[in-house]
């Protein structure tokens, strides 16, 4: 039986400093995070002991490149926040990794909380940077100069599920889901063929079907094997083939549909073979066709559009949900999935109030019609970028939202709560509450452990290897009965 699909999203944000084309993005990102994080949180180090980005899910470990930097010796800013998230500098970008969530609705809430944290960081940095220096943060995936940065999803998967089964069934799904998860982009990059506008920001950057890398030779299926949980029981599926979304429905569908497909794979429910003849070419073909009518070839000779293939996955997921006890709001996911596919099939522009790429395309077409602009006009790329500005005053997405042109799934009250509070039904609750209550006694933390210094030798490591434990229901009484960190350690050992 499939295990619960606890999930989370890691987002690398684009950063720029206005009127400073030669700015150092690492320094700017560090400044941003330091300005936001309280001193008590900055002193808690990230624990890298259990991390190994070179371990491959295919059963081997790649040797490190000669001269490669050791992660914890880089000196980059890396903090854990009371909402259970990680906020740090990664590859010259500020990155927000959401806490573990048990369902796609919460995934949206804590992902949006990340945007608010970045927005607040800009304001905090403005108080210490001369004249504010105009820091801007963009929740996008490309700088328009051939460089791409990621928005990665993580899902808890049963270790018993053969990895080749995941690859077999996920590639067609990931290639075609971009019709509702794409963020839209003017032009093409990475030596791809020229297009005026495409569905996905990331599609041009994928070069292979399966692999370990994330920043070059990007694979559709990433094989990194870092479970951040009990390695005997769990796998963490690290999905890098996706865009960062401003609109809430694409994030909801991105998490919810993938969770259902993974459940079906674990339960060996998918009998059909949707193998694609050329997945890398197919992912670009789908992205380069905003009409959503282009077909891609399956290994059995059929040619289907991305929407037609998504209908097949939806049909299976609906049947699976009838026959199995699903959780995580599956009924809402199935309903939204169906509505979006129906709308895209009828007229893609009908989904401008729900999907990022359609909202952006309609916005750009309005500017083109008003000002007589060709697709190669620089103003269109600026509009494209401004759509992703996390500032609610400047961002064009938020302008559309205020005008009632974008549907909402979550409330501002939920998002404001999530900025400083963790989800209550995963281990993120224990991590976040410990940071809130005992930060001065915590030496280091990671997804699967907290290390305490309670004035005794040695340091005390508290493992959190079960993502579904450490919830409010499990530990609230324990925490309330432990006014000091030493009390917590003693009570844990009782």
Tokens linked to 202: 């990331």
**Is the per-residue pLDDT at 76 higher than 80?**
no
Q: Where are the domains of the chain?
A: 7-414, 415-493
91 pLDDT band, cuts 50/70/90, is confident
**Is the per-residue pLDDT at 61 higher than 80?**
no
Dist CA 270 CA 278 (whole Å): 21
What does DSSP say about strands 442-446 and 206-211: parallel, antiparallel, or unpaired? unpaired
User: Which residues are known to be catalytic?
Assistant: 90
Lowest model confidence (mean pLDDT) among 117-131, 251-265, 345-359: 117-131
Lowest model confidence (mean pLDDT) among 7-21, 362-376, 412-426: 7-21
**Is the per-residue pLDDT at 263 higher than 70?**
yes
Residue labelled with tokens 């371990």:
55
- Give the residue from 208, 216, 212, 217 showing the smallest Cα distance to 280: 208
Query: pLDDT for 324-356, tens place per residue?
Result: 877 768 999 999 999 999 999 999 999 999 999
Let me know: does 156 contact 333? Beta carbons within 8 Å: no
What region does 136 belong to: left with phi over 0, alpha with psi -120 to 50, or beta? Answer: beta
What does DSSP say about strands 206-211 and 218-222: parallel, antiparallel, or unpaired? parallel
60 pLDDT band, cuts 50/70/90, is low
What integer pLDDT is reported at residue 26 of this predicted model?
Answer: 92
Let me know: does 15 contact 135? Beta carbons within 8 Å: yes
What integer pLDDT is reported at residue 326 of this predicted model?
Answer: 77
Query: pLDDT for 299-320, tens place per residue?
Result: 999 999 999 999 999 999 999 9
77 pLDDT band, cuts 50/70/90, is confident
Residue 478's contacts (CB-CB under 8 Å, 6 or more residues apart) are 488, 491, 492
What integer pLDDT is reported at residue 436 of this predicted model?
Answer: 94
DSSP 26-94: HHHHHHHHHHHS-HHHHTSEE--TT--TTEETTTEEPPPPTTPPPGGGS---EEE-TTS-EEEEETTEE
Dist CA 212 CA 435 (whole Å): 32
**Architecture field, domain 7-414:** 2-Layer Sandwich (3.30)
What integer pLDDT is reported at residue 390 of this predicted model?
Answer: 98
Residue 115's contacts (CB-CB under 8 Å, 6 or more residues apart) are 139, 390
Strands (E), 248-388: 295-297, 303-305
- In angstroms, the Cα distances linking 263 to 6, 8, 157, 236, 451 are 11, 16, 9, 14, 33
What integer pLDDT is reported at residue 317 of this predicted model?
Answer: 97
Which range scores top for mean pLDDT: 38-42, 51-55, 296-300?
296-300
What region does 383 belong to: left with phi over 0, alpha with psi -120 to 50, or beta? Answer: alpha
- In angstroms, the Cα distances linking 343 to 62, 288, 365, 436, 483 are 45, 19, 19, 45, 54
66 pLDDT band, cuts 50/70/90, is very low
- pTM higher than 0.85 for the full model? yes
Tokens linked to 164: 């080749």
Query: pLDDT for 128-149, tens place per residue?
Result: 766 556 899 999 999 888 889 9
First-to-last alpha carbon distance for the chain, in angstroms, is 34
Other beta carbons less than 10 A from residue 390's beta carbon: 24
**Is the per-residue pLDDT at 119 higher than 70?**
yes
What integer pLDDT is reported at residue 19 of this predicted model?
Answer: 73
Mean pLDDT of the chain: 93
71 pLDDT band, cuts 50/70/90, is very low
* Residue 1, SS3 per DSSP: coil
Query: pLDDT for 274-292, tens place per residue?
Result: 999 999 999 999 999 999 9
Query: pLDDT for 378-404, tens place per residue?
Result: 999 999 999 999 999 999 999 999 999
**Is the per-residue pLDDT at 69 higher than 60?**
no
**Is the per-residue pLDDT at 156 higher than 50?**
yes
What integer pLDDT is reported at residue 133 of this predicted model?
Answer: 62
Dist CA 259 CA 373 (whole Å): 41
Higher pLDDT, 323 or 22: 323
Dist CA 214 CA 211 (whole Å): 8
Let me know: does 455 contact 486? Beta carbons within 8 Å: yes
What integer pLDDT is reported at residue 493 of this predicted model?
Answer: 84
């Amino acid at each position: 039986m499939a295990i619960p699909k606890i999930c989370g999203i890691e987002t690398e944000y684009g950063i720029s400093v206005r009127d400073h084309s030669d700015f150092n993005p690492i320094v700017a990102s560090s400044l941003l995070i330091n300005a936001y994080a309280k001193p008590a949180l900055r002193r808690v180090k990230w624990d890298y002991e259990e991390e190994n980005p070179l371990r491959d899910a295919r059963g081997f470990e790649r040797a490190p490149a000669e001269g490669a930097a050791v992660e914890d010796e880089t000196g980059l800013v890396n903090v854990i926040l009371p909402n259970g998230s990680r906020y740090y500098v990664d590859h010259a970008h500020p990155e927000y990794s959401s806490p573990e969530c048990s369902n796609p609705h919460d995934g949206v809430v804590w992902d949006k909380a990340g945007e608010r944290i970045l927005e607040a960081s800009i304001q905090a940095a403005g108080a210490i940077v001369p004249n504010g220096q105009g820091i801007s943060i963009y929740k996008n995936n490309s700088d328009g100069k051939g460089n791409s940065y990621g928005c990665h999803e993580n899902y808890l998967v049963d270790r018993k599920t053969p990895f080749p089964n995941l690859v077999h069934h996920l590639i067609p799904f990931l290639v075609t889901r971009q019709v509702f998860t794409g963020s839209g982009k003017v032009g093409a990059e990475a030596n791809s063929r020229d297009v005026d506008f495409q569905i996905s920001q990331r599609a041009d950057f994928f070069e292979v079907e399966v692999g370990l890398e994330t920043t070059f030779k990007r694979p559709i299926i990433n094989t990194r094997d870092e479970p951040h949980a009990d390695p005997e029981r769990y796998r963490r599926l690290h999905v890098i083939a996706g865009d960062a979304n401003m609109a809430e429905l694409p994030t909801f569908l991105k998490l919810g549909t993938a969770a259902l497909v993974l459940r079906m794979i674990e339960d060996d429910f998918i009998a059909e073979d949707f193998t694609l003849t050329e997945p890398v070419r197919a992912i670009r073909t789908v992205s380069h066709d905003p009409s959503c009518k282009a077909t891609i070839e399956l290994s059995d000779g059929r040619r289907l559009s991305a929407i037609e293939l998504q209908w097949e996955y939806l049909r299976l997921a609906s049947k699976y949900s009838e026959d199995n006890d699903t959780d995580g709001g599956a009924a809402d996911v199935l309903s939204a999935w169906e509505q979006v596919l129906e709308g895209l099939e009828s007229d893609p522009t009908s989904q401008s109030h729900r999907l990022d790429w359609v909202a952006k395309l309609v916005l750009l077409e309005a500017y083109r019609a008003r000002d007589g602009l060709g697709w190669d006009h620089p103003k269109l790329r600026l509009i494209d970028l401004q759509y992703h500005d996390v500032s609610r005053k400047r961002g064009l997405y938020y302008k559309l939202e205020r005008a009632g042109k974008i549907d909402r799934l979550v409330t501002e009250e939920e998002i404001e709560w999530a900025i400083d509070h963790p989800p209550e039904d995963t281990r993120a609750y224990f991590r976040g509450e410990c940071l809130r209550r005992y930060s001065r006694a915590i030496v280091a933390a990671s997804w699967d452990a907290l290390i305490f210094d309670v004035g005794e030798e040695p340091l005390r490591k508290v493992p959190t290897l079960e993502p579904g434990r450490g919830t409010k229901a499990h530990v609230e009484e324990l925490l309330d009965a432990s006014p000091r960190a030493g009390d917590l350690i003693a009570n844990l050992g009782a």
